Amino acid sequence: MNVGPISGASSDARRRGGRKLAALALGVVLAVTACGGGGTGSGSGSGADDGRPKDSTAAQSKQSEAVIGIAPKDGAESVKTSGALKVDAAKGKLTEVVVKNPDGEKIDGEISGDGAHWTPSTHLAASTKYTVHAVAKDSAGRTAAEDSSFTTLTPKNTFVGTFTPEDGSKVGVGMPFSLRFTRGITKAEDVEKAIRITTEPAVEVEGHWFGNDRLDFRPEKYWKPGTKVTVDLNLDGVEGRDGVYGEQAKTVSFTIGRSQVSVVDAKKHTMKVERDGKVIKTIPITAGAPGTETWNGRMVVSERLKVTRMNGETVGFGGEYDIKDVPHAMRLSTSGTFIHGNYWGGGAFGNYNASHGCIGLRDTRGGWDKKAPGAWFFENTMIGDVVVVKNSNDATIAPDNGLNGWNMSWEKWKA
């Protein structure tokens, strides 16, 4: 029997099969168009317009041309605390730079006007890991970002500053904030920049260096009573001299009490105690005898001792005196000037000068009489109060002999 091939089907059958395939294909096309949501009855089948420029996808797919450079390199160690950290942008502008320490505290810095550079406005702390996040945009507005981290050096040699007054203290209107450094400072500007003083109410405060190891701060005139002073010592990481770094990060606050300025007249042998602008007591005194006169000038009480020993050998007077129980002593100079109670002066008080340079007030041995001038003045005096001496046959005390920078003009102080 002769069997024909499959292709031998009739032409009518082929036509019916072709119509079915065509209908199926048309249904698929309609379904795709409907899912696309572009059917509008126009029959165009072009799809919805999403509002974007036709080349937006291509534009967004291009990488930003901005190139960010961060120094030091990622993962660097033993990085210097000043001068090493820099962020730059090429073919674009920096829009954001965030540098943080492990506690999340940000390092202040500034982007240059042209957006090409960022530099920190302060030094970095020593032995600290920092993270850097930088963002820049190119001319087309496309962003680029870089992240990095590094660790600063651990110094072999360090310095600290011992300071007065103490944190939390209340002091008189003449009290400066005084720092003495354990190492001589050769980079004074960097150290001074790391110390910030704020006051309430606000007043201009300037620093002055005495030698290379002491820095004092004060306003032009005595502090206003009630002023609150805050000192931020951001010395950690400051290179005070080659290879020697600060290690302090501390905030110190103190408050100014009432105003008390006492004026000693060495010729009249009296002292007028002025409280908040009013004289509250006039006290007979004895000052330095001829040949050992008391310094003239404005002096600040820097220490209060209920009883102390005074030995002439410690201040260049040999064995001329050694009094082991001087009552109610208040230091006015580093060189040994005190205003203190005196129980051995006899009739000197208010009549003649008999001391070796100190200011003596009548008192009792042991300081038991609370009404005695020496005891009264001690109980009514605080650290930072001012004692002014005039009409003595001696020079004006040096500004660095004690906390006595008030004897320097404001112009010289700032210079």
Distance CA 190, CA 123 (A): 9
User: How distant is the alpha carbon of residue 354 from its chain centre?
Assistant: 47
First to last CA, the chain: 127
Q: Which two tokens stand for residue 89?
A: 């942008």
Residue with token string 């704020």 = 198
Burial readout 82-107 (b: 16 or more C-beta within 10 A, e: otherwise):
beebebbbeebbbbebebeeeeeeeb
Beta strand pairing call for 270-275 and 278-286: antiparallel
Burial readout 313-323 (b: 16 or more C-beta within 10 A, e: otherwise):
eebebeeeeee
Q: Which of 123, 208, 328, 358 is catalytic?
A: 358
Residue with token string 């696309």 = 36
Q: Which two tokens stand for residue 98?
A: 């965030």
Distance CA 289, CA 392 (A): 10
**How long a stretch of residues is the chain?**
415
With residue 19 as reference, give the H or E element that holds it. helix 11-36
Distance CA 232, CA 215 (A): 14
Query: Is 330 in contact with 299 (CB distance < 8 Å)?
Result: no
Q: Which of 123, 269, 340, 356 is catalytic?
A: 340
340 is catalytic: yes
Cβ partners under 8 Å of residue 186, min gap 6: 212, 240, 241, 242
358 is catalytic: yes
DSSP symbol at 392: -
The residues annotated with a catalytic role in the active site are 340, 358
